[in-house]
Amino acid sequence: MFVTLPSQGLSQRPWVFPALVLVLVLILRRLVLSYSYRRKAHSNGCCPPPSSPDPTGRLGLFQIRKIIQAKKQRRLPNVFSSVFDDAGQGVHTIAHHVLGKKSYWTRDPENVKTILSANFSDWQLPAARVTAFNQCWGGGIFGADGHQWKHSRALLRPAFGRSQIQDIELIENHFLSLVKRIPENEVFDLTDLFPMFTMDIVTDMLFGETTGCLDPSKAEEGQKFASFFNYIMQRMSMRLSAPLLAMLPDFKLKRAVKFVYEFADYFIDGALKRRAGGRNVIDHESHPGKRKHCFLDEIATDGESAEALRGEMLSTMVAGRDTTASLLGILWWHLPRRPDILSRIREEVASLGGSPPDAKAMKDLKYLEKAVNEVLRLYPINPINSRTARVDTILPRGGGEDGMSPIFIAKGETVVFSSLAMHRRRDIFGEDAGILNPDRWDTKRPSTWEYIPFGGGPRLCLGQQLALLEVAYTTARLVQTFPSIEPIGGDVFVGQFAMALTSGDGCKVRLSRA
Ligand code: HEM
């Protein structure tokens, strides 16, 4: 009988031996790493946090089902809180397993402070965010990290230091276009108009020229731009939740990206020419009526390439358009259903005697300010965010039986932090934390890290003041213009989440000037 000796088998399959060595090396590496992690964790007094309960253990199939069900039932944002509550009372940081991959979730202000500020340099953006931003928008601050981010931030920051007077003038112009598009005494959805409104504002501010989505004479062009922009946003959101999708060809995405790039490039080209000609403001003679200072002219400094400028402009546009539109949509879904809040805003706005508020008057609209802050507390537009550890590092709290021990986080592990879950903590905001109550801000002074609708630390939102002004000003003007505001539809708010938190049922209303 012919017998194959092992050595003969190996010589026929030369790859077997190297493969065995590779597997062995990987196992050894894993063992050495585990040992080193255990030692580092032990020497820093770290303990693991509780895990989200799942009968399938590290597979996390129960968790995946829960998320799919919540998405179907249109209550995904609730999961951001329940994931902690399910792990036990008073649990604010957990380990979360999905298909064998571990991440951490936290709603503890101390941990958020550590990630966003105290140990900022230990953390980086998750790779999926960087890739998605680069592929969809050609880079820019929102998807940049390390030195590249520092450069982007230094470039953009001064452009945000514009005067409120300038901003109000610009918002008022677009508000007048918004009002023209509102059909009086008819049921319509405000969330159809808000993204057009914020798109027109942000393009005007950034490029010195608006897409004109609200302007009927430019509507076709503006709509085309908006629909391509929306498509890119939608594909980016899918890529963020399923990064492997990025490997599939997507010709429509390519077309959309090309169109949006060409739009930006047209203005960038102009700005670079103005810069080369020694002028950094728009020529009023050849562009009558256009703004004097737009972002683009401020950031088109010597040495910035057209591609880099495009990335920054589009990135800022992404950061500023949907967020502000979503906040307006959620606020306006609630106002007509909360006559107690709406009537107090009306009273306050009535003190303006019908005139549009100027920068000083805006500062005096204190109740309106509280109402906006309160909506951002209960419905933060970015309800979850995450960072990946750049190096082995530590979170100060959440480990052990009492949740007070530090947690060891290995290089490459991701921590998701949820502003929504933190803003709804009863131990921070009181027993009525689940209720919209603007008056809580009379007594509640949350610490910087307990209230983070605009993030925090070195990457704090650059458009915070602008967004708050845009939302409060628009609300004051709408209230002034329409004495009658009738809500249409159910009374239970449904939050929807893709790239931002939005009102799942839109915001149908009937407005009247009488
Ligand atoms: C209600 C409206 C808005 C909300 C809730 C919001 C929220 C945020 C949050 C949470 C971050 C931090 C992201 C992170 O740390 O990963 C951020 C960053 C940023 N936001 Fe906003 N934002 C809003 C409006 C705006 C507007 C209107 C603009 C500009 C037109 C803007 C520009 C930016 C930029 C450029 C960054 C990146 C900052 C950096 O990475 O250094 N945002 N925003």
Separation of CA 258 and ligand 1 centre (Å): 25
Separation of CA 133 and ligand 1 centre (Å): 14
Question: In the predicted model, what is the mean pLDDT of residues 428-435?
Answer: 96
Q: Which residue's entry shows tokens 């008057």?
A: 361
Closest atom of ligand 1 to 326 CA is 1
Question: In the predicted model, what is the mean pLDDT of residues 159-171?
Answer: 86
> What pLDDT sits at residue 12?
74
Closest atom of ligand 1 to 385 CA is 16
Q: How far apart are CA 291 and CA 282, in angstroms?
A: 7
282 versus 480: which is more confidently predicted? Answer: 480
Is the shortest distance between the CB of 141 and ligand 1 below 6 Å? yes
The answer to whether residue 171 scores a pLDDT higher than 90 is: yes
> What ipTM does this complex have?
0.99
By CB neighbour count within 10 A (0-12 exposed, 13-18 middle, 19+ buried), where does 185 fall? exposed
Is the shortest distance between the CB of 323 and ligand 1 below 6 Å? yes
Q: How far apart are CA 183 and CA 39, in angstroms?
A: 67
Closest to 416 (Cα-Cα) out of 459, 382, 394, 386: 386
Closest atom of ligand 1 to 382 CA is 10
The answer to whether residue 286 scores a pLDDT higher than 50 is: no
Q: Which segment of 158-172, 321-335, 429-443, 474-488 scores lowest on mean pLDDT?
A: 158-172
Q: Which segment of 13-17, 20-24, 368-372 scores lowest on mean pLDDT?
A: 13-17
In the annotated binding site, the residues are 461
Is the shortest distance between the CB of 327 and ligand 1 below 6 Å? yes
The answer to whether residue 410 scores a pLDDT higher than 50 is: yes
> What pLDDT sits at residue 287?
46
Closest atom of ligand 1 to 459 CA is 41
Work out the percent of the chain whose per-residue pLDDT is above 70: 95
Q: Which residue's entry shows tokens 């792990």?
A: 87
> What pLDDT sits at residue 116?
98
> What pLDDT sits at residue 411?
96
The residue contributing the CA closest to ligand 1 atom 39 is 459
> What pLDDT sits at residue 243?
74
Q: Are 166 and 266 in contact (CB under 8 A)?
A: no
> What pLDDT sits at residue 414?
97
Read off the tokens for 470: 């845009």
The answer to whether residue 6 scores a pLDDT higher than 60 is: no
Separation of CA 46 and ligand 1 centre (Å): 33
Read off the tokens for 444: 């509640």
273-297: burial string, b at 16+ Cβ within 10 Å, e else: ebbeeeeeebeeeeeeebbebbbbb
Alpha-carbon torsion (90, 96, 102, 106), positive or negative: negative
Q: Tell me the Ramachandran region of residue 496: left when phi exceeds 0, alpha when psi lies from -120 to 50, beta otherwise.
A: beta
Q: Cα(first)–Cα(last) distance of the chain, in Å? A: 103
Label residue 279 by pLDDT band (50, 70, 90): low
Average pLDDT value for the chain = 90
Q: How far apart are CA 105 and CA 110, in angstroms?
A: 13
The answer to whether residue 59 scores a pLDDT higher than 60 is: yes
Reported as a single tens digit per residue, the pLDDT across 206-248 is 988 888 889 888 777 778 888 999 999 998 888 887 777 777 7
The residue contributing the CA closest to ligand 1 atom 30 is 320
Separation of CA 152 and ligand 1 centre (Å): 14
The residue contributing the CA closest to ligand 1 atom 6 is 454
> What pLDDT sits at residue 267?
87
Per DSSP bridges, beta strands 414-418 and 101-106 are parallel
Separation of CA 319 and ligand 1 centre (Å): 5
Is the shortest distance between the CB of 462 and ligand 1 below 6 Å? yes
Is the shortest distance between the CB of 459 and ligand 1 below 6 Å? yes
Work out the percent of the chain whose per-residue pLDDT is above 90: 65
> What pLDDT sits at residue 477?
98
Label residue 9 by pLDDT band (50, 70, 90): low
Separation of CA 460 and ligand 1 centre (Å): 7
Question: In the predicted model, what is the mean pLDDT of residues 59-66?
Answer: 88
Is the shortest distance between the CB of 153 and ligand 1 below 6 Å? yes
Closest atom of ligand 1 to 202 CA is 30
Is the shortest distance between the CB of 386 and ligand 1 below 6 Å? no
Read off the tokens for 8: 């003969």
Q: Are 424 and 446 in contact (CB under 8 A)?
A: no
445 versus 188: which is more confidently predicted? Answer: 188
385 versus 281: which is more confidently predicted? Answer: 385
In the annotated binding site for heme, the residues are 461
Per DSSP bridges, beta strands 405-409 and 508-512 are unpaired
Q: How far apart are CA 393 and CA 413, in angstroms?
A: 10
Question: In the predicted model, what is the mean pLDDT of residues 391-415?
Answer: 96
Most confident of 32-41, 79-88, 225-234, 358-367: 358-367
Q: Are 92 and 398 in contact (CB under 8 A)?
A: yes
Q: 311 in helix, strand or coil?
A: helix
The answer to whether residue 435 scores a pLDDT higher than 80 is: yes
The residue contributing the CA closest to ligand 1 atom 43 is 461
Q: 307 in helix, strand or coil?
A: helix
Label residue 3 by pLDDT band (50, 70, 90): very low
Is the shortest distance between the CB of 151 and ligand 1 below 6 Å? no
